[in-house]
Every structure is written in structure tokens, then in C-alpha cells.
């Protein structure tokens, strides 16, 4: 699945799944644009990839800001002249019961998880149409974009939105040979969103009544037919496939990658 010479933008690339996707692209020969709102971890990943010999550009970007997104796309074109792949990976998470959920937290999740996908896709699609050779857009949704969870209402709403947007955009831009798909990870354990204060693990511990994070991992694993939680690299393999020409008759899909934990359309 060599992507040699392709230009790939990965949002939320400083840590976790985004970092994994960016490294995977570099190993396949792509030129990689790393974007994140967090300066220090972004520079750390940039340095790591430079030491690997990657051809890359790091751009601080708030995906919920149209000005930031437009600048990021301009910086990409100024350096590389084109864009072939966009991975909308940046994400935000807060948990609360609906009666306790703040308007600020609702807006933040919608701004990053849904509006960010819209803004980045809009800017990149314009460039891809102008280039006239198609492209690949990969949106990171979630199994929480297909079913609701206790304490996840805003997060679920934002990830459901990503799937609806993916389907609509795929129908709009198929005539330009632009492929748009969503990936729906299940429990991917080694990420900031999982382990940060207020993250997935903490919220699931609250629901389950478990107080030990290691025991919480065991609970996840018992619910997964393949017997383990996901790793960022598991998702990156699917990202590479969807970014390659091996997926050239797949568009508008929302693909679960979860060790068999969920079966849904």
C-alpha cells in the first residue's frame, strides 16, 4: 500500500491515534502534514518523525477555526503543492449526564468533532477538485457514532454527525473521484482521550462502579471477542488501506474496528 509521494494531512496528530496514523503514512513514503492545537506534543512528534527521516510539515491548528484551517491548507499547498489525503482525527471528549452537561462542553465537542470535520473537509475538497485527480478523506468517528452510551450524549451526537456528513459528502464528491469514508473505533486504550482526567476510562469506571483502571481494562477485554483492547496501530492499518488505491470502490462507509465488540450497519 505504498503511498510514496502522496501528501497526507492528519489532524490531532500530536499523540495517540493521530500520531500513529502520521507515522504510518511516513513509513509508506507519504509527505505528512501534522496538525494539532497542542504545541508541545506536536513538536515532540515532529522531532520524532524527523529523526525517522520523514518528509513533514507541522502546523498548529484549531480545527474549529476556519481561519486556522484555511491557513493550514495554504501552508500545505505552499510547501507541497497538492493534497491527496485528509484524515480528520482531531477529537474532544467530556462526559456527564444530560442534566449536568454544560453548554460549553456540548459546544466544544460539536466544534471539534463535527464542525472540525466539516471545515477541514470543505477546505481540502476545494483543493482536490481544483487538482482534478481525486483524493481520499477519512473521518474518525466511533462506535459511539452508531449507538448511545450513558454519560456520552454530546460525544455520541458529534460522532453520529460525522457519519451523516461522511455519507452526504461521499455522494456529492464521488464524481470528482474523491472517496470519503469514516472509521468507527471501539475501545482503543492507549490514547489521551482514554486516560485524561474526564476521559473514556474514567467515565466507564463511573458507570461500572469499578475503581481500578487495570480491572476496567479487563472488563473491556471480556466484552471483546478477540480478547484485547485496541491499539492505535490497529486503526492506522485501516487508515492506510482507505488512503490507498486498494480501496477504490469503497466510499460513504462507516467501518467498525473494534475486535468484534459491535455488529451494526
Q: List the chain pLDDT tens, one digit each, 265 residues.
A: 689 999 999 999 999 999 999 999 999 999 999 999 999 999 999 999 999 999 999 999 999 999 999 999 999 999 999 999 999 999 999 999 999 999 999 999 999 999 999 999 999 999 999 999 999 999 999 999 999 999 999 999 999 999 999 999 999 999 999 999 999 999 998 898 888 898 989 999 999 999 998 899 999 999 999 999 999 999 999 999 999 999 999 999 999 999 999 875 5
Q: Which of 95, 152, 155, 220 is catalytic?
A: 155
Q: In Å, what is the CA distance from 104 to each residue of 36, 82, 107, 109, 156?
A: 21, 36, 5, 9, 16
C-alpha cell of residue 235: 486503526
Domains, in order of start, for the chain? 7-186+231-257 (3.40.50.720)
Sequence-separated (6 or more) residues with CB below 8 Å from residue 29: 2, 3, 4, 5, 6
Would residue 155 show up in a list of annotated catalytic residues for this protein? yes
pTM over 0.85: yes
Q: In Å, what is the CA distance from 51 to each residue of 6, 46, 162?
A: 20, 9, 34
Which neighbouring-strand residues pair with 257? 185
Q: Which residue has the cell 524527523?
A: 50
Amino acid at each position: 500500500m505504498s503511498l510514496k509521494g502522496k501528501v497526507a494531512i492528519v489532524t490531532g496528530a500530536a499523540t495517540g491515534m493521530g500520531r500513529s496514523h502520521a507515522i504510518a503514512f511516513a513509513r509508506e513514503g507519504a509527505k505528512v502534514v501534522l496538525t494539532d492545537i497542542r504545541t508541545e506534543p506536536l513538536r515532540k512528534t515532529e522531532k520524532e518523525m524527523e529523526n525517522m527521516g520523514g518528509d513533514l510539515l507541522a502546523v498548529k491548528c484549531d480545527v474549529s477555526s476556519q481561519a486556522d484551517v484555511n491557513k493550514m491548507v495554504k501552508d500545505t499547498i505552499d510547501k507541497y503543492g497538492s493534497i491527496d489525503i485528509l484524515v480528520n482525527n482531531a477529537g474532544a471528549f467530556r462526559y456527564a449526564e444530560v442534566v449536568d452537561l454544560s453548554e460549553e462542553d456540548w459546544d466544544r465537542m460539536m466544534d471539534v468533532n463535527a464542525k472540525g470535520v466539516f471545515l477541514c473537509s470543505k477546505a481540502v475538497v476545494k483543493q482536490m477538485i481544483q487538482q482534478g485527480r481525486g483524493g481520499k478523506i477519512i473521518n474518525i468517528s466511533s462506535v459511539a457514532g452508531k449507538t448511545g452510551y450513558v454519560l456520552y450524549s454530546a460525544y455520541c451526537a458529534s460522532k453520529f454527525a460525522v457519519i451523516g456528513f461522511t455519507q452526504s459528502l461521499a455522494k456529492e464528491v464521488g464524481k470528482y473521484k474523491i472517496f470519503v469514508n469514516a472509521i468507527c473505533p471501539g475501545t482503543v486504550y492507549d490514547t489521551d482521550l482514554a486516560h485524561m482526567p474526564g476521559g473514556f476510562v474514567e467515565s466507564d469506571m463511573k458507570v461500572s462502579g469499578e475503581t481500578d483502571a487495570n480491572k476496567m481494562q479487563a472488563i473491556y477485554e471480556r466484552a471483546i471477542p478477540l480478547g484485547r483492547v485496541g491499539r492505535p496501530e490497529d486503526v492506522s492499518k485501516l487508515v492506510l488501506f482507505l488512503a490507498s488505491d486498494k480501496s477504490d470502490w469503497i466510499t460513504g462507509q462507516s467501518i467498525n474496528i473494534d475486535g468484534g465488540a459491535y455488529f451494526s450497519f
